[in-house]
Amino acid sequence: MSDVNDRIKTLVTENNVVLFMKGNRFFPQCGFSARAVGMLSQLDAKFETVDVLSDPEVRQGIKGYSNWPTIPQLYINGEFLGGSDIMMEMYQSGELATALAGDAPAAAE
Amino acid sequence: MISVEEVKRLIEEGLPEAEAVVLNEYNDGEHFAAEVTSTAFEGLSLIKQHRLVYKALGDAMHSRIHALQLKTYPPNRWPHAE
């Protein structure tokens, strides 16, 4: 596994919900990324973002990591969920909220 | 730059019994929206359906197409049927 794959794997396993995007949640640099942030915010999700514009290695690497040619990309519990179009369909059907609700580690108490 | 016709042709020739409605709203040859149906989508997850479209677009997806808003439908849910 290459270094960038290791870095991405660490990012998506150490954070429950990670959005690889252009820009950040406050200043998205692309309409699709803005749409993805908007949906997650609307659902009150706790999520990390990775700005691929400031990290060319991850920008290329993430496309190979999930075999997916576009950005944004959402990962929940290390698993690739989809890009912004799939997020939108899942948002509208309620599946995105369900997937996000399942992200929290099961509470012991 | 790539034309709407070329995007449509790549998708329709790359997938079985496919039909694609492709838009290039700003007429810039780079930002597209497409709705696609194919018998290949039946029973597949959305991720797998979208991957098939990306595969059909091949190199164009990585170079000439800057953005593609995509919606896929199995044939029985295709909203553009005659």
Domains (ranges, CATH) in chain A?
Answer: 3-101 (3.40.30.10)
Task: Kindly list the residues of chain A whose beta carbon comes within 8 Å of any beta carbon in chain B.
Answer: 30, 32, 67-70, 80, 82-83, 85-86, 89-90
* pLDDT band at residue A31 using 50, 70 and 90 as cut-offs: very high
Please state, in angstroms and rounded to a whole number, the distance separating the CA atoms of residues B52 and B14. 9
Please state, in angstroms and rounded to a whole number, the distance separating the CA atoms of residues A3 and B57. 29
pLDDT, residue B69, reads 95
CA A69-A41-B44 angle, to 5 degrees, is 40
Of the candidates A30, A32, A86, which has its C-beta nearest B50's C-beta? A86
- Nearest Cα to Cα of residue A68 among A53, A77, A55, A80: A80
pLDDT, residue A49, reads 98
Please state, in angstroms and rounded to a whole number, the distance separating the CA atoms of residues A27 and A65. 25
pLDDT in tens, B24-76: 989 999 999 999 999 999 999 999 999 999 999 999 998 999 999 999 999 99
- Nearest Cα to Cα of residue B45 among A82, A84, A100, A93: A82
Amino acid identity of residue A61, one-letter, is G
* Domain boundary assignment for chain B: 4-77
Residue of chain A whose alpha carbon sits nearest to that of B60: A69
pLDDT, residue A103, reads 64
Confidence (pTM): 0.90
Of the candidates A32, A80, A89, which has its C-beta nearest B67's C-beta? A32
- Nearest Cα to Cα of residue A33 among A77, A83, A107, A103: A83
pLDDT, residue A1, reads 56
* CA B66 to mean position of chain CA atoms: 14
pLDDT in tens, A36-80: 999 999 999 999 999 999 999 999 999 999 999 999 999 999 999
Domain B4-77 has CATH 1.10.260.40: no
Cβ within 8 Å, pair B51-A82: no
The residue whose two tokens read 């599946």 is A95
In a mutational test of the A interface, the residue from B50, B59, B77 whose CB has the highest number of chain A CBs within 10 Å is B50
Of the candidates B46, B54, B68, which has its C-beta nearest A86's C-beta? B46
- Inform me whether the pLDDT recorded for B82 exceeds 90: no
Please state, in angstroms and rounded to a whole number, the distance separating the CA atoms of residues A4 and A84. 23
Strand order in the sheet with A17-21: A48-51, A17-21, A73-76, A79-82
